[in-house]
Amino acid sequence: AQTVTQSQPEMSVQEAETVTLSCTYDTSESDYYLFWYKQPPSRQMILVIRQEAYKQQNATENRFSVNFQKAAKSFSLKISDSQLGDAAMYFCAYRANYGQNFVFGPGTRLSVLP
Amino acid sequence: DTGVSQNPRHKITKRGQNVTFRCDPISEHNRLYWYRQTLGQGPEFLTYFQNEAQLEKSRLLSDRFSAERPKGSFSTLEIQRTEQGDSAMYLCASGGGTGELFFGEGSRLTVL
């Protein structure tokens, strides 16, 4: 079975600084998708960024970028120029290409310090 | 379209009672998911629909849980004979052609 691990239960970053959240996963599949979702306090989860496993180029969305290391099964999220609104729980998620079940990690709580 | 809508947002019930949650997905999405999330944890998969067909159900899901999606539109999740361990946030998400999930705000269940 696929599993997703986030080894950092909590992280903090100074406003305007850069922070990296870690995620590793375990799968025997070669074709899959990886996602980072953000869940602000008492708000719904929203997609931050996605990566297709067949793409070698790391995905980027404005201040958010990933470091996808397929051989190492690692998928970290880098947030640049952190803003107070980035404070939230961040979940890493995996979905096999031919499956529909999304597997989520336990999450990392990010605090942004003014 | 205002996104995925879930009702009720909060439900407090006594142990042994039945509860039902409703999810209205984004209208053009044919995939609908139910997840359960406990405090400080990631969402745990419960079940998945493609249109009106329930294609996958977690082995962890008790027989007290049932979900339906008549006509492939809204979905309901019913929990019978609730237990204190059922207390959690129940999340609904829908998906279309892009492969990603769009979540509702969740229905929080508290079983006393």
In this complex, is the C-beta atom of B78 within 8 Å of any C-beta atom belonging to chain A? no
Task: Please tell me the distance in Å from B15's CA to the nearest CA on chain A.
Answer: 25
A68 φ/ψ angles, rounded to the nearest 5 degrees: -100, 115
Percent of chain A whose pLDDT exceeds 90: 82
Nearest residue to B36 via CA among B19, B58, B14, B55: B58
Residue B1's pLDDT is 53
Angle at B60 (CA atoms; ends B56, B65), nearest 5 degrees: 75
Is A103 touching B (CB cutoff 8 A)? yes
Is the CB of residue A100 less than 8 Å away from at least one CB of chain B? yes
Alpha-carbon gap, residue B72 to A46, rounded angstroms: 23
Residue A100 has pLDDT above 90, yes or no: no
Contacts of B40 in chain A (CB under 8 A): 106-107
Q: What is the dihedral of CA A48, B44, B72, B12, to 10 degrees?
A: -110
Which of B57-61, B83-87, B92-96 has the highest average model confidence (pLDDT)? Answer: B83-87
Contact A106 B33 (CB under 8 A): no
Q: In this structure, are residues A25 and A114 in contact, taking their beta carbons and an 8 Å threshold?
A: no
- Are B41 and A106 inside 8 Å of each other by CB? yes
- Do you know the residue count of chain B? 112
CB contact under 8 A, A45 and B45: no
Could you give the CA distance from residue A98 to residue A107 in angstroms, rounded to a whole number? 25
pLDDT band at residue B68 under the 50/70/90 scheme: very high
Q: What percent of chain B stands above pLDDT 70?
A: 99
* E-strand stretches of chain A: 3-5, 10-14, 19-21, 24-26, 32-39, 46-52, 60-61, 64-69, 74-79, 88-96, 103-104, 108-113
Chain B positions touching A91 (Cβ under 8 A) are: 42-43
Closest CA relative to residue B90, chosen from B50, B54, B60, B45: B45
pLDDT surpassing 80 at residue A99: no
Cβ–Cβ gap B48/A100 under 8 Å: yes
Higher-confidence position of A43 and B108: B108
Paired with A26 in beta bridges are A3
